[in-house]
A and B are shown apart, each in its own frame.
Chain A
Amino acid sequence: MERDQILEKIKIIVVSVLEHDDFDMKDELVATDVSGWDSLTHMIIITSIENEFKIKFRLKELNKLKNMGTLIELVQSKL
């Protein structure tokens, strides 16, 4: 799957979980810059991504995520 397609799908998930699209979907995006993306919603977003792409993350991989770019790369590496 193309990187842009992954990015678009992740964006749809984030918007549906957080109920707003008040963020700029780019590689440098970090959770703390997005209103409502906190510890509680993080795991809901992660689970939704797993279900959407039919993949499974490992906790260690999630701990190493730095920003949206690394998340997209991680998803891509599992497809």
Chain B
Amino acid sequence: MEFTSFSFAIFLPIVFLLYWFVFNKTYKTQNVLLLSASIVFYLIADWKFISLLAASGFVNFWLAKIMIQKEDESFGRRLLFYLGIVFNVGILLYFKYLNFFIQSFVTLFNYNDAVNISFTPFHILLPLGISFFTFQMIGYLIDVYNEEINPTNDFLSFSTYLAYFPKILSGPIERVQDFLPQIQKKREFNYALTVDGLRQILWGLLKKSVLANNIMVITDSIFNDFHSMSGSTLFMGAILYSIGLYADFSGYSDIACGVSKLFNIKITNNFAFPFFSTNISSFWKRWHISLTSWMMNYVYTPLSFITRDYKKVGLILSINLTFLLVGLWHGANWTYVVFGLYQGLLFIPLIFRGSALNNNELDVNKFGLPSLGDFLKIMRTFLLVTLGMIFFRAESIAQASQIFLEISSSSFFSIPTIRPSYLFIIILVFLLVEWAGRTQEYAIEKLWLKYPKVLRWGIYYVIAMIIFLFGGKEQEFIYLQF
């Protein structure tokens, strides 16, 4: 069941009404409803793997509880901790990466024709949301092991946290300590937050339907036929893909946050206007924030701690390994590995130049515009990100290489063969609205709030109409495949 599907449009109001009018007695009844709704949601989306989700919840809940009863630094505690990590990573490796690793080894062995091994990939389906929920569970075990948090005894709330339907399919990767306290007390209906949530959903739907869906039709036609495209068309395709991917995933995240607000539960905002970043470090603090924070907490920090005596070399090593994993997290393909490595490499000049670049808050003039220097930095960051997106979009390294070759050929200076001018106008308007609202949680958070009610509702009606009239062909959210 996708957020943009008709079934979700039926499902959500039912859950909303039951939550506030029937199951509103205590926090437990509220959680029973949310958990039941989440199970129904997951069953409809991917019934085959509901048992995997349940197993993940049971095992991690009990492991954390038993682990912490063992003495600090004891063998028993360490053993249980590592068993838990092996369990979670094992699930992920099996379902997501097994074929990829075997295939890569086979290719390596067959490289010089000394041996010839054939390999037929196993038929393994990818459980929906697996990368998101296993990361949440790993984070939980690490935090309990490090005594940053106490393990919870409340299995109902813990299961609700794990399966919570607004975030189960594509995140955000929420931390237990941010989520659990919210659902371990009775939620009261909050009219302002509900309206805010609905506005965020509307904005997310607009991004997904009008921008992402329309853009992806164009980029698909460009990249699926990349052989016959000029360098300029491919380059334009890459720019469109960057914006399309942002509209798609941030649109999804807005809907997720908005839906959650309807239940008076705040979840992490995954995006903070990344395209207005002046360097790559700033970009990654604003793009898929919950994944980057997870990686920073659980991968980068230990790595940079271990290598801290090697100063900048240690930092570079840690950041590159972290981004290698960020890349690989997206899927079992070398294109994602290269995507991650590329991002890591972009950090090297920043680290060598030191901390001066960390203060990257934008100063604007009286017209609300950035300085020319900052504008050029924003453009440079966008260009670097867009070049990386070619790896992200390509189906193989060979394909990405061919695209890069074409872009660096003389055909880069030809006029693109595909010129969706109407799309450029939509994108321009969109970017202007985003710029104007860049200090808020989402671009239209505070827009029109001072207008009379009638006018406001008129605007909502127009946006809804735009979604219906200009919404592109229905397409799956890209991050569902991760």
Contacts and interface: CB of A to CB of B under 8 A. Distances in A.
Interface stretch (A1-9, A55-63, A69-77): A55-63
Interface in B335-350: 347, 350
A20 B296 contact: no
B300 A59 contact: no
In this complex, the member of A17, A47, A64 whose beta carbon has the largest number of chain B beta carbons within 10 angstroms is A47
Interface stretch (B162-170, B356-364, B400-408, B421-429): B356-364
Contact of A39 (B148, B301, B309, B350): B301
A-side interface size class: 20 to 34
User: How would you classify the secondary structure of chain A's contact residues: helix, strand, loop or mixed?
Assistant: helix
In this complex, the member of B146, B285, B350, B358 whose beta carbon has the largest number of chain A beta carbons within 10 angstroms is B358
Given A18-B355, A40-B358, A62 B305 contact: yes
Interface string B103-147: 000000000000000000000000000000000000000000011
Interface in B280-330: 281, 285, 296, 300-302, 304-305, 308-309, 311, 314-315, 319
Contact of B359 (A20, A39, A43, A47): A20
A13 to B, nearest CB: 12
Given A18-B355, A38-B285, A41-B358, A64 B146 contact: yes
A36 B359 contact: yes
Nearest to A43: B304
A35 B305 CA distance: 22
A18 B355 CA distance: 6
B418 interface: no
Given A38-B285, A39-B301, A60 B308 contact: no
Contacts of A38: 281, 285, 358
B351 interface: yes
Contacts of B302: 59
B148 A64 contact: yes
A46 interface: yes
A19 B357 CA distance: 10
A39 B358 contact: no
Contacts of B351: 40
Interface of A: 17-20, 35-36, 38-44, 46-47, 50, 59-60, 62-64
Interface of B: 146-148, 281, 285, 296, 300-302, 304-305, 308-309, 311, 314-315, 319, 347, 350-351, 354-356, 358-359, 361
Q: Which 9 A-B pairs have the closest CB atoms?
A: A36-B358, A43-B304, A39-B296, A47-B308, A63-B146, A59-B305, A36-B359, A43-B308, A35-B359
21 contacts: A18-B355, A18-B358, A19-B354, A19-B355, A35-B358, A36-B358, A39-B296, A40-B315, A40-B350, A40-B355, A40-B358, A41-B355, A43-B304, A43-B315, A44-B311, A46-B305, A46-B308, A59-B302, A62-B301, A64-B146, A64-B148
